[in-house]
Amino acid sequence: MAIRYTRHAEYKFEVLREHGFPVTPDQVADALMHPDRVIPQSEGRLVAQKRLTEEHVLRVIYRIEGNDAVVITFYPGRRDRYENEI
């Protein structure tokens, strides 16, 4: 599966780096290929969630187009907020 990024998702790398929480393309790919969980959303979107640290998870919002995963956006979140979601 190839990974493509929307312009917004490409910009998120810079935004998160400027806010002191850099995320790498390898971390996004790892979350997509080996998620701790995948949560279906509306309009065919999916959220891949992967633990980053003891306190944080990485959430990647994406859709499948053919054989590609198109990353819409991604963000770190606190584990205590997202790991207990039903």
Q: What is the pTM of this model?
A: 0.92
Instruction: For 3-18, write each residue's pLDDT tens digit.
Output: 999 999 999 999 999 9
- Identify the H or E element spanning 13: helix 7-18
Q: List domains and CATH numbers for the chain.
A: 2-81 (3.30.2310.20)
Residues 6+ apart with CB under 8 A from 15: none
**Full strand arrangement of the beta sheet holding 37-40:** 2-5, 68-78, 56-65, 46-51, 37-40
Instruction: For 19-57, write each residue's pLDDT tens digit.
Output: 999 999 999 999 999 999 999 999 999 999 999 999 999
Coil, strand, or helix at residue 71? strand
